[in-house]
Amino acid sequence: MGASTVLGIETSCDETAAAVVRLDGAGRPEVLSSIISSQAAAHAPYGGVVPEIAARAHVEVVDVMVLRALAEAGLGFADLDAVAATAGPGLIGGVMVGLSAGKAIAMARGIPLIAVNHLEGHALSPRLAEPLAYPYLLLLVSGGHCQLLIVDGVGACERLGSTIDDAAGEAFDKIGKALGLPYPGGPALETLAEGGDAERFALPRALLGRKDCDFSFSGLKTAAARLAEGARTLQDRRDVAAAAQAAIAGQLAERTARAMGLYSRRHGGTSLRFAVAGGVAANGEVRRRLMASAREHGFSFAAPPLAYCTDNAAMIALAGAERLQAGLTSPLDAAARPRWPLDEAAAAERPTHAPGRKGAKA
Ligand code: KG4
Ligand code: ZN
């Protein structure tokens, strides 16, 4: 198989992103361009993403972003082998904008369309930065998602566990808000936690000792927010931030270690690979704890650079290119889906998801 050059479009939340990725015959990706237009400023006054504002903002810039991504790659529409667009899960108005743009390009140029699951994009994202062979264990941890997946290949992800209430990033953001930090609270909370005493306050340790790989952050979030309201001094606030960060990182590492045990029983004797993706992977304490779990269980550790951790279109283009090479293209009437679990079987069996800050995602 020769190289495939694919345009990716991502509009499922509050970033309008476009990228061009070339996948060579050996399955090695090269990101030719990857650009993002953030709507953060438009949503900031509301303290969260407003779906109508998001959809309108995507309409205004999606065509410009596509043209810019092609220009930065030094390519034209005629150089594309396919166009990939996020078809869900996400805020439906925005998803429809990007998917319609993808369909229009596919129809006008007579090239295949690939309707990509946003979660599959995240699941494959570690492969953008470094060679990472299938299969691997993935923790996807962002503002909208928190799940542990076995990634066997494109179109073959098995969900081992998922949050039963909030996503980890959502917990960071809400505790940050209670501490008076600007949105999104995660990065600001990490800074505040420096010099804090993580031991001073005890927070609930949810689901500890449970045999599955599910997460729960809502009890911890409420308890930390209550502590934040009672914090008087800067040191109090630092200590609450440190305790919250340690509790979230601790739960992520504990559940991941459990999944590693499960994975190694299944894949014993082979190379054990672990990767983390999503915005929360930027957190130093989270990384440290996950690296320790990986070391302890004999796993290699991969974390994509932040630009590929947070929402981007390069991961959508990569999923599209891998799908194209596997012959998995989509019809031009592919539907936009607000909910679209990656592992439909597991989701039907154990529907653990509750709608999050950014809407119903998985
Ligand atoms: O992947 P992402 O950009 O968006 C979603 O698709 O959700 O992740 C954003 C989330 C936010 O909740 C943000 O607070 C969190 O990632 N985040 C962090 C840090 N940087 C970003 N959380 C904790 N510590 C950080 N340094
Ligand atoms: Zn995402």
Choice from 10, 145, 147, 172 to test ligand 1 binding pocket (greatest atom count within 8 A of CB):
172
Alpha helices in 142-233 (DSSP H): 168-178, 185-193, 218-230
Q: Which residues are close to ligand 2, an ion, with C-beta < 5 A?
A: 311
Binned at pLDDT 50, 70 and 90, residue 348 comes out as confident
Instruction: Give the model's pLDDT for residue 352.
Output: 63
Instruction: Give the model's pLDDT for residue 354.
Output: 45
359 lines ligand 1 (CB under 6 A): no
Reply yes or no on whether the pLDDT at 343 is more than 90: no
Nearest ligand 1 atom to alpha carbon 184: 14
Contact between 358 and 11 (Cβ < 8 Å):
no
Nearest to 134 by CA among 120, 153, 156, 147: 153
Instruction: Give the model's pLDDT for residue 355.
Output: 43
DSSP assignment string, 200-226: SS----TTTT-SS--B--HHHHHHHHH
190 lines ligand 1 (CB under 6 A): yes
Nearest ligand 1 atom to alpha carbon 144: 7
Contact between 286 and 252 (Cβ < 8 Å):
yes
Residue nearest to atom 3 of ligand 1 (CA): 310
Choice from 280, 289, 311 to test ligand 1 binding pocket (greatest atom count within 8 A of CB):
280
51-110: per-residue pLDDT in tens?
A: 999 999 999 999 999 999 999 999 999 999 999 999 999 999 999 999 999 999 999 999
135-170: per-residue pLDDT in tens?
A: 999 999 999 899 999 999 999 999 999 999 999 999
Integer Cα distance of 320 and 268 in angstroms:
31
Choice from 142, 177, 221, 245 to test ligand 1 binding pocket (greatest atom count within 8 A of CB):
142
13 lines ligand 1 (CB under 6 A): yes
Mean pLDDT of 333-343: 94
The alpha carbon dihedral of 160, 165, 168, 169 has a sign of positive
As a whole number, the mean pLDDT across the chain is 93
Integer Cα distance of 43 and 114 in angstroms:
30
278 lines ligand 1 (CB under 6 A): yes
236-294: per-residue pLDDT in tens?
A: 999 999 999 999 999 999 999 999 999 999 988 789 999 999 999 999 999 999 999 99
Q: What global pTM score does this model have?
A: 0.91
> What structural domains does the chain harbor?
4-129+308-340 (3.30.420.40), 136-303 (3.30.420.40)
121 lines ligand 1 (CB under 6 A): no
Integer Cα distance of 156 and 153 in angstroms:
5
Instruction: Give the model's pLDDT for residue 47.
Output: 73
Nearest to 88 by CA among 338, 334, 321: 338
10-25: per-residue pLDDT in tens?
A: 999 999 999 999 999 9
Q: Ligand 1 centre from 256 Cα, in Å? A: 18
